Chain A
Amino acid sequence: MSAPPLQPTSAAEVQEAVRTHRRLLPRGGGSKPALSWPHEGQTVLDLSGLSGVLEYDPGEYVFVARAGTRLAEVEALLAQHGQYLPFDPPLVAQGATLGGTVAAGLSGPMRQRYGGVRDFILGVQFVDGEGQLVRGGGKVVKNAAGFDLPKLMVGSLGRLGILTEVAFKVFPAPKATATLLLDFPGLEGALEALYRLAGSPIELYALDLQPPGTLVLRLGGLPEALPARLEGLQAFLGRGGEPLSGEAETAYWRSLNELNLGEGALVKVALTARRIPALEQALGQAPRRYLSAGNLLYLAWNAELKALDTILQAQGLSGLVLKGATHRPQIGIDLGQVMGHKVTKALDPQGKFAQEPYAAQD
């Protein structure tokens, strides 16, 4: 049986927890249960009490917050100053936290415009496997001093350290947005248009592919320029599509943020658009959506995860299970390499954050 979760409210308490427990699994809002489901012998470290924005100066485009701070709180604060998280993290309404978003490495549709979570993280503070409190990066928009530990923590799944504080770059939010839905007769036509758009100077906030053949494009910017840009986009594509605007548009994207794609496990896959045709053949009926010009796939998988694992391996792709019953959230090809193993052991020599005790791995 696993012990009851610990609920630290300070970095010092996280340090104490690391020093006094053999194996720990951090959990933020619990919105990605496949990543916060403890293995035998793991004590859950619930970080939702480590919450609050510590510094925010809109003029700097920077904020610093405790890792357990909910995205919803951050987004509400930024919105008051006309700013937003450009990497558009998912699961906001489900209670996702900053720390969980970084550890899972999750971005959403609007990553298309300026980049993903790795492109906006500036600084981290975390507790390493020996209970030391470590800082990396900084809290200014540009910094090249020391190893880039903030980036390293993106996608680290809590296995390199327990995040206690994060600093992010933010941007002014587009003052107006508009969305265009375009149905193509099939995948081929949709992909061709996706490639043309991705290689064009048209600046899209989102460039999604909803299989089998629908492209969903989002424009953002100054309201007075938007009608002309929308027309330009339609002319570029040679078709009108179905425009969405106002509340319907906002609601469309808000609902998508929940990643309620369908029954079964929720899985993220990293890929490029080139992989889509083969993947589409293999994935069958699983509800899914490709984001950011085919760089990111979220799908619902309502069958054995082993089968999906096999498909991804065959395609040379890696996936991450976010929701679903599994003790092995990383599926598809094995991304492990010697640099990773060595650095992991350097930060966590006793395997306190490892999925399995180190001895069992070897």
Chain B
Amino acid sequence: MNPALTELERLFPPGRLLHKPGELVPYESDALTAFRARPLAVVLPESHAEVQAAVRWCAKHQIPYVARGSGTSLSGGSLPIDGGLLIGLNRMNRLLRLDPVERIAVVQPGFINLQVSNAAAPYGLYYAPDPSSQPVSTIGGNLAFNSGGAHCLKYGMTSNHVLAAKVVLPDGETVELGSESLENTGPDWLGLFAGSEGLLGIATEITLRLLPKPETYHTVLAAYDSLAKAGEAVAAVVASGLLPGAMEIMDSLAIEAAEAAVKAGYPLEARALLIVELEGETPQVEAEARYLEEVIQKSGAYEVRVARSNEERLKIWKGRKAAFSAVGRLSPDYIVQDGVVPRSRLGQALQAIEELSARYSLRVANVFHAGDGNLHPLILYNGRLEGELHRAEELAGEILKLCVALGGSITGEHGVGMEKKAYMTEMFREADLAAMQRIRLALDPQELANRGKMFPGETPAQSFHGAHPLEKAGVISRE
């Protein structure tokens, strides 16, 4: 056995150090299934000290490492490094403290997103960031990739809801970033750490802020005979001065798939569905609803439904939340992009995507966070057909370039990871990337932490296709 591995055996008991080929297979890829790599070993720490020991071992032996939670990254962010160490954090899954009076929760990185809200629910509180992966994705991964969800325009992303973190830096040192206060009196180091994609360290304790649950929701489903009209409706809602908690659009392919999967009762013949949700104090929501109704009526919707009960509201959301995995069933494989465009360019972007879809002869379904211009085109392909993955990736790349050309971003919430690193140069100039790289090298001169992600560089060969096992089981979905 490799002498370094022998040393690792002294740090982790059998069962929490995996290095036999069969044990490593489940860790070879994340939700971006086009990539796969075999780590040297997997360790499953149960404490801050064990994370620190693993990181120090990596630093000593110059072995690159990746920290991973549930492996739901859509950008290949938790893809292991060939011959590197994979630090699995799922066993660090405890809720360390829930303080309903101060409205905070302190969790270990392997704690599941949705369970934060579940734990807070008895006190009328919840954790706002709601990525669709929330039934399985972990807070550690959410923090590393600054996860979003359907409510970002009004409430922000993960980084807007994390108050503090205890972090093991790539050299094994521990730092405490942030505090329980929403305010700060120096540079926002925690702000830098959030969304740094595992390159700047591993969080082992995370303090989250909890919000009181809104008193009332008002959820509207509007059906349109064109995608463009739905897009214009979003612009009209924004122009009216309303600030809905969520605005989501699905196109006909997504509607059809969602309906087949969960029978949400969506109008099947619609070319586009718009979901708008208002939330807040009852008198305010009731008043806003009247303005919203006016805007939606003028927008050319041919059918409008308003959820009259919580059951009806959940049903509307059920179809939306299931849309991704449902679309996935239409095709053996798919790639999801999450580029952002200015809202006023939504129509233009969707038109261009439709043209690209025709040109590449690949179907593209659209389900997206319209309120913040965050597109989610799903490019359907069959990895068994020679060259189709390559074509799908080219199409995906064209969409990313389009988003940047329209003044947007290559990623709204999935992160750069492995998948989009080649497109960082579309968005940032050399000096921008050089500054980010200097920050990284200052903390990790050997580039051990999540090596090969975010920054442009070599990409490993792709050898795999098909849905992630968890996805096939319907546990996770890509959004």
Q: Which residues of A contact B (CB under 8 A)?
A: 57-62, 82, 105, 107, 111, 114-116, 118-119, 128, 132-136, 138-149, 151-157, 159-160, 171-172, 175, 195, 198-203, 221-222, 224-225, 228-229, 232, 268-274, 292, 295-296, 318-320, 330, 332, 335, 337-340, 342-347
Given the known interface contacts A145-B411, A201-B281, the answer about A270 and B183 at a Cβ–Cβ threshold of 8 Å is: yes
Given the known interface contacts A152-B188, A339-B443, A343-B189, the answer about A199 and B123 at a Cβ–Cβ threshold of 8 Å is: yes
* Option from B153, B184, B429 in Cβ contact (under 8 Å) with A105: B184
Q: Does B261 touch A at the CB level, under 8 Å?
A: no
Determine the chain A residues whose CB is within 8 A of the CB of B154 once the complex forms.
Answer: 114
B436 and A225 form a contact (CB under 8 A): no
A203 and B185 form a contact (CB under 8 A): no
Given the known interface contacts A175-B241, A203-B280, the answer about A152 and B191 at a Cβ–Cβ threshold of 8 Å is: yes
Q: Does B407 touch A at the CB level, under 8 Å?
A: yes
Determine the chain B residues whose CB is within 8 A of the CB of A318 once the complex forms.
Answer: 184-186
Shortest C-beta distance, B361 to chain A (Å), equals: 29
B286 and A225 form a contact (CB under 8 A): yes
A-B contact pairs, 8 of them (CB 8 A): A105-B183, A145-B416, A146-B427, A221-B287, A271-B181, A296-B182, A335-B185, A337-B176
Determine the chain B residues whose CB is within 8 A of the CB of A224 once the complex forms.
Answer: 287
B238 and A59 form a contact (CB under 8 A): yes
Q: Does B458 touch A at the CB level, under 8 Å?
A: no
Shortest C-beta distance, A77 to chain B (Å), equals: 16
B412 and A144 form a contact (CB under 8 A): yes
B184 and A155 form a contact (CB under 8 A): yes
Residue interface mask B203-244, A partner, CB < 8 A = 1 = 000000000111100000000000000000001001101110
Given the known interface contacts A128-B435, A151-B192, the answer about A339 and B169 at a Cβ–Cβ threshold of 8 Å is: yes
Determine the chain B residues whose CB is within 8 A of the CB of A175 once the complex forms.
Answer: 241
* Option from B193, B201, B340 in Cβ contact (under 8 Å) with A142: B340
B167 and A154 form a contact (CB under 8 A): no
Which residue of chain A lies nearest to B445 when distances are taken between CB atoms in the complex? A342
Determine the chain A residues whose CB is within 8 A of the CB of B241 once the complex forms.
Answer: 82, 172, 175
Residue interface mask B159-173, A partner, CB < 8 A = 1 = 110000001010001
Q: Does B117 touch A at the CB level, under 8 Å?
A: no
A148 and B343 form a contact (CB under 8 A): no
Given the known interface contacts A148-B195, A270-B179, the answer about A57 and B431 at a Cβ–Cβ threshold of 8 Å is: no
A128 vs B434: C-alpha distance in the bound complex, in angstroms? 11
Shortest C-beta distance, B126 to chain A (Å), equals: 11
* Option from B152, B212, B341 in Cβ contact (under 8 Å) with A201: B212
Determine the chain A residues whose CB is within 8 A of the CB of B148 once the complex forms.
Answer: 142, 144
Determine the chain A residues whose CB is within 8 A of the CB of B373 once the complex forms.
Answer: 140-142
A232 and B281 form a contact (CB under 8 A): yes
A61 and B188 form a contact (CB under 8 A): no
* Option from B185, B191, B193, B372 in Cβ contact (under 8 Å) with A118: B191
Closest 5 pairs (CB-CB, A-B):
A151-B191, A270-B183, A346-B442, A228-B283, A201-B215
Q: Does B187 touch A at the CB level, under 8 Å?
A: yes
A332 vs B169: C-alpha distance in the bound complex, in angstroms? 25
**Which of A116, A144, A195 has the most CB atoms of chain B within a 10 A radius of its CB?**
A144
Q: Which residues of B contact A (CB under 8 A)?
A: 100-103, 123-125, 145-146, 148, 152-154, 156-157, 159-160, 167, 169, 173, 175-177, 179-189, 191-196, 200-201, 212-215, 235, 238-239, 241-243, 280-281, 283-284, 286-288, 291, 340-344, 369, 372-374, 407-416, 420, 424, 427-429, 431-436, 438-443, 454
* Option from A151, A221, A271 in Cβ contact (under 8 Å) with B194: A151
A201 and B213 form a contact (CB under 8 A): yes
Which residue of chain A lies nearest to B182 when distances are taken between CB atoms in the complex? A295
Shortest C-beta distance, A209 to chain B (Å), equals: 15
A135 and B442 form a contact (CB under 8 A): no
B146 and A144 form a contact (CB under 8 A): yes
* Option from A222, A292, A339 in Cβ contact (under 8 Å) with B284: A222
Given the known interface contacts A144-B146, A201-B213, the answer about A272 and B156 at a Cβ–Cβ threshold of 8 Å is: no
Which residue of chain A lies nearest to B180 when distances are taken between CB atoms in the complex? A272
A144 and B185 form a contact (CB under 8 A): no
A222 vs B191: C-alpha distance in the bound complex, in angstroms? 33
Shortest C-beta distance, B198 to chain A (Å), equals: 12
B408 and A340 form a contact (CB under 8 A): no
A115 and B436 form a contact (CB under 8 A): no
B435 and A157 form a contact (CB under 8 A): no
A201 and B408 form a contact (CB under 8 A): no
Determine the chain B residues whose CB is within 8 A of the CB of A119 once the complex forms.
Answer: 156, 160
A144 and B413 form a contact (CB under 8 A): yes
Determine the chain B residues whose CB is within 8 A of the CB of A156 once the complex forms.
Answer: 186-188
Given the known interface contacts A198-B103, A199-B124, the answer about A335 and B186 at a Cβ–Cβ threshold of 8 Å is: yes
A195 vs B187: C-alpha distance in the bound complex, in angstroms? 28
Which residue of chain B lies nearest to A319 when distances are taken between CB atoms in the complex? B185
Determine the chain B residues whose CB is within 8 A of the CB of A132 once the complex forms.
Answer: 431, 434-435
B187 and A172 form a contact (CB under 8 A): no
Shortest C-beta distance, A286 to chain B (Å), equals: 17
Given the known interface contacts A115-B160, A146-B424, A345-B442, the answer about A199 and B100 at a Cβ–Cβ threshold of 8 Å is: yes
Shortest C-beta distance, A86 to chain B (Å), equals: 10
A134 and B432 form a contact (CB under 8 A): yes
A134 and B435 form a contact (CB under 8 A): yes
A292 vs B184: C-alpha distance in the bound complex, in angstroms? 13
